[in-house]
Amino acid sequence: MMMLPGDVYPGIIRRRPWITYFLIIINSIIYLLTSYKSSFLQIDSDVLWRYSFVPALLSTSDGWLRILTSMFLHGYPLHIIFNMYFLYIFGRDVETFLGSFRYLVLYIASGFLAAFVHTSMSLVMGIDNLGIPALGASGAISGVLGAFLMLFPGVRMSICIFIPFPICGNMSSTLFIIFWFILQIIYGYLQLGGVAFFAHVGGFLGGLALVYYLGRDVAHQIFGYKYFNISFNSVYSFFGYRRGLSSIARFILIFSATLILLSLFTAFSLIRENPIVNTLYIKASVTTSSEAYRSSEAAVVIFEEANRSRSTVAPIADDIVRVLFNRLYSAGYIINTSLAGYQGSLYFSGYIRLIGLIAHPVRLIMNMTEAVYTDKGVIKEGVGNAQTDLLTCDVYGRCSITDYWYYRYFSIRLINSSPLYDIIMIPMVLTIISLLVVIYILIARKDLEISYIS
């Protein structure tokens, strides 16, 4: 089932929403520029890894800049089409209410809060998520939805529900947005679809809180008096009007923010362990029996215990990078204390047993030049070529050699090595503060001060 909103009817005087139009145009142009090599079907892999937000890289020099650049990247056509459609539907009225500058501040700040919540919840949902790139304007646009809910909680909007044929009608914006928000929470905890749902949740709650501080003086000017208190709201209720969020909507939002807050506290044991997070950037080109030439690149995140006695690797989605990395890692050329401080060439020819597949040795021939290792024995950089068997395994763990891959070229570069504490603490603190502010605003009924009568 898919729900698609149509036009909204807040009934306010509308100016030209130039920032909304600008954001739609600039996002569209950037998508065309970053996807033309792939016939506009998906973002180029080099752009993906260079400019998307990777939580494990947050402590690097460009980590925070990546949050900003990732807001203007989209993975595939439907990704940008739906994002820009939602921005057009909800952004125009929020910009009209706040004004262009404050609206842009809300948009960008919501995008940053989305990244912080996504990073913080990665510890709860699986530390492996720290190495997965996140991109798209969804977090920032979710902030616009949160602002819209606070400003226009009872306006009517047209909507079509596809199940799979469309059923169209009118409904309350609160009902639609709250239903959408609940889905993001459920999908986030179920980890469905490879989407950063908690980025949507974080952006939404961030926009909900930010619009109060950005818009309350604007609301006072529009409404002609300083504060709408609860007693004044009762007068409007007597005549059939309602101001602010409904009790059910406030309960759902408070409960959700509290649930996320409690979830974050379960991650403090992992933070106390403070593992080392090593992030490698690997580029490789390979020739197989079925394809003459393929190239790919990806970031690989390795978690080491604080005493460096044991390490684990986050799952690698890209086949070309995963096969190469698994061979080098199992052969001891990624992390090896005996290579600490080494600089020079490395050569290996023989059979190795892959970690996790002890019963299935594979052939590896590797020649790596310009290899450099840190004083802890982690590869810092290296360039080379390799040849190896390809294993194919079934669901029962039975594996067989099905191909032979020749890596004509590969390069490995360590782009970050930081304790988890350095990566996670700023996002965690800002996430907790944001959630507490959201809970305070909802409990104190601050929505009464800025919401438009509906």
Least-confidence region, from 219-228, 270-279, 344-353, 397-406: 219-228
Domain match, 252 and 301 both: no
Domain match, 368 and 431 both: no
- Residues facing residue 9 across a β-bridge: 156
pLDDT given at position 242: 60
Domain match, 176 and 107 both: yes
Report the alpha-carbon distance of residue 379 to residue 261 in Å, rounded.
Answer: 37
pLDDT given at position 234: 46
Report the alpha-carbon distance of residue 182 to residue 190 in Å, rounded.
Answer: 12
Sheet holding 343-353, edge to edge: 311-313, 294-304, 276-287, 399-419, 379-393, 361-373, 343-353
Domain match, 161 and 306 both: no
Q: What is the mean pLDDT of residues 126-132?
A: 82
> Mind listing the pLDDT tens digit for each residue in 137-194?
999 999 999 999 999 887 888 888 777 777 887 888 899 999 999 999 999 998 877 7
Domain match, 108 and 245 both: yes
Domain match, 28 and 169 both: yes
Structure tokens at 368: 């790596």
Q: How many CA atoms lie within 13 A of 52 on its CB side?
A: 23
Domain match, 74 and 193 both: yes
pLDDT given at position 232: 45
pLDDT given at position 226: 43
User: How many structural domains compose the chain?
Assistant: 2
Does the structure show a pLDDT above 50 at 230?
Answer: no
> Mind listing the pLDDT tens digit for each residue in 201-226?
999 999 999 999 999 888 877 765 44
> Mind listing the pLDDT tens digit for each residue in 13-43?
567 899 999 999 999 999 999 999 888 999 9
Comparison of pLDDT for 169 and 101, the residue scoring more = 101
Looking at 36-132, list the stretches that DSSP marks H as alpha helix, in order from N- to C-terminal side: 45-51, 63-70, 77-98, 100-125
Q: Which residues contact 52 (CB under 8 A, 6 or more apart)?
A: 66, 69, 70, 73, 133, 134, 135
Domain match, 266 and 345 both: no
Q: What is the mean pLDDT of residues 126-137?
A: 87
Residue 196 is part of a domain; what is its CATH number?
A: 1.20.1540.10
Does the structure show a pLDDT above 60 at 12?
Answer: no
pLDDT band at 9 (very low <50, low <70, confident <90, very high): low
Q: How many CB atoms lie within 10 A of CB 172?
A: 17
Which among 35, 27, 115, 116 has a CA at the least distance from the CA of 72? Answer: 27
Domain match, 234 and 296 both: no
State the sign of the Cα–Cα–Cα–Cα dihedral 112, 114, 115, 121: positive
Q: How many CA atoms lie within 13 A of 170 on its CB side?
A: 7
Domain match, 332 and 203 both: no
Q: Contact, 4 vs 159, CB < 8 A?
A: yes
pLDDT given at position 137: 95
What is the average pLDDT value for the chain, to the nearest integer?
87
Three-state DSSP class for residue 145:
helix
Domain match, 256 and 201 both: yes
Does the structure show a pLDDT above 70 at 62?
Answer: yes
Domain match, 235 and 339 both: no
Q: How many CA atoms lie within 13 A of 122 on its CB side?
A: 30
Comparison of pLDDT for 310 and 133, the residue scoring more = 133
Q: Which amino acid is at 193?
A: G
Structure tokens at 130: 């720290």
Range of 137's domain?
A: 2-271+422-450
Least-confidence region, from 178-182, 236-240, 361-365, 398-402: 236-240
Q: What is the mean pLDDT of residues 374-382?
A: 93
Which among 189, 177, 199, 171 has a CA at the least distance from the CA of 252? Answer: 177
Structure tokens at 322: 């995963």
pLDDT band at 240 (very low <50, low <70, confident <90, very high): very low
Report the alpha-carbon distance of residue 285 to residue 406 in Å, rounded.
Answer: 9
Report the alpha-carbon distance of residue 261 to residue 431 in Å, rounded.
Answer: 9
* H or E element, residue 3: strand 2-9
Q: What percent of the chain has pLDDT over 90?
A: 55
Structure tokens at 196: 């950063």
Q: How many CA atoms lie within 13 A of 437 on its CB side?
A: 17
**pTM as predicted:** 0.88
Least-confidence region, from 198-207, 283-292, 394-403, 427-436: 394-403
